[in-house]
Amino acid sequence: MKPGSFQYHSAKTIEQAVALLAEVAPMDGRVLAGGQSLVPTMAFRLAQPAHLVDINGVEGLDRLAVEGAELAIGACVRHAAFHRPVIAGPLGAILTTVARHIGHYTIRQRGTFCGSLAQADPASEWCLVAVTLGASITAQSTRGRREIAASDFIEGIMTTVLEDDELLVEARLPVPPDDTRFGFVEFSRRAGDFALAMALTSFRLEGGVIHDARLGIGGAENTPRRIGEAEAALNGQPPGADAFDAAATAVAAALDPMEDAGTSAQYRRELAQCLARRALESAAS
């Protein structure tokens, strides 16, 4: 259980990091941020990168700030930064709830928000947050910077559109109106384990009916995604059992869940249906 040999590079600036990546990416070089997924993978020798570019010392990447209507999250912001609300209002509160479900306390002290996005594990809480809330992701390389919508960013299981020489430097979450309601529910077999499914919802109430409904499911399919059919079943309806059941039923109908040795697709489908309803009830309460 020891990682294989690699060459270690430590960057102090973003420019230096992307220059190093441009040099070593073609020789199987990778970024080392929190390392809480990469290093175990290396210990199993499932990953044997020839080079690691450590970005932990890059100045400014730990930046977490509200800029206009967005929450900007730098590449080295740890999960634990969200243990307390990072912004007043409903967004800060829901991120706190979500963060508690990520791995364990010690893992959360090192692992990073952006690292989770780049890893794109189907059971990643932050990937679900990014996709459901419409995050924008900034990638940088020596060829320049580009913005990628979260929904376009994740291509499949642990696969993103990031090029090998690109560094995910920042993710930005839109700050929702203060009357936005959120609900997040996750199920895993034991504390800190990977989610078998999770649901995140947000909506607003106007004139007693639901507006701007978002409902995302993670952990069930290869990638997290919003379920449009469920959102359509919510918008314009008063919050309550009828609308929530209709949305949850729409989730079950829309999903094409993953299967593994311990969990059938049908189990995940029913689990996601249940979690969607609970997340909506939590948001409404």
Partner 1 sequence: MTDKHDLTLTINGRAHAVSVDARRTLADAIREECGQTGTHLGCEHGVCGSCTVLLDGVPVRSCLMFAVQCEGKAIRTVEGLAEGEELHPLQKSFMKHHALQCGFCTPGFLMLAVGVLEREPDISDEDLVDALSSNLCRCTGYANIVKAVRAAAVELKAGP
Q: Does 27 bind partner 1 (CB under 8 A)?
A: no
Q: Where are the beta strands (DSSP E) in 60-176?
A: 64-67, 70-74, 136-141, 144-149, 154-156, 159-160, 167-174
Among 40-48, 66-74, 122-130, 205-213, which window interacts with partner 1 (CB under 8 A)?
40-48
Phi-psi region of 236 (alpha: psi -120 to 50; beta: other; left: phi over 0): left
- Indicate whether 93 belongs to the interface with partner 1 (CB under 8 A): no
Given 40, 236, 238, 240, the residue binding partner 1 (CB under 8 A): 40
- CA dist., res. 175 & res. 125, Å (int): 18
Stretches 6-14, 89-97, 121-129, 216-224: which one binds partner 1 (CB under 8 A)?
6-14
- Name the segment binding partner 1 (CB under 8 A); options: 44-52, 226-234, 243-251, 256-264: 44-52
90/103 with CB nearer partner 1: 103
Rounded CA-CA distance 145/166 in Å is 9
Binding status of residue 146 toward partner 1 by CB under 8 A: no
* 114 SS3 class: helix
Measuring CA to CA, how many Å separate 38 from each of 1, 35, 109, 218? 13, 5, 15, 21
Binding span for partner 1 by CB under 8 A among 101-109, 141-149, 211-219, 231-239: 101-109
Q: Classify strands 209-218 and 225-226 as parallel, antiparallel or unpaired.
A: antiparallel
Selected binder of partner 1 within 16, 96, 97, 109 (CB under 8 A): 109
Nearer to partner 1, 53 or 154 (CB): 53
Single residue of 66, 72, 100, 281 touching partner 1 by CB under 8 A: 100
Among 1, 260, 261, 262, binds partner 1 (CB under 8 A): 1
Q: Would you call 285 helix, strand, or coil by DSSP? A: coil
Instruction: Candidates 39, 64, 72, 205: give the one binding partner 1 (CB under 8 A).
Output: 39
User: What span, in angstroms and rounded, lies between the C-alpha atoms of 269 and 285?
Assistant: 25
Number of residues this chain uses to bind partner 1 (CB under 8 A) = 28
Q: Which of 18, 36, 182, 269 binds partner 1 (CB under 8 A)?
A: 36
Confirm or reject binding of residue 158 to partner 1 (CB under 8 A): no
Whole-angstrom distance, CA of residue 2 vs CA of residue 24: 22
The nearer residue to partner 1, 103 or 257, going by C-beta atoms, is: 103
Q: What does R_g of the chain's alpha carbons equal in angstroms?
A: 19
Burial of 144 (0-12, 13-18, 19+ CB in 10 A): exposed
Query: Shortest CA distance to 75 belongs to which of 49, 111, 45?
Result: 111
Work out whether 2 is an interface residue with partner 1 (CB under 8 A): yes
Task: Give the nearest distance from C-beta 53 to partner 1 in angstroms.
Answer: 12
DSSP state letter for 93: H
What is the DSSP-derived secondary structure letter of residue 94? H
Q: Residue numbers of the site for partner 1 (CB under 8 A)? A: 1-8, 10, 35-36, 39-40, 43-44, 50, 52, 54, 56, 100, 104-107, 109-110, 191-192
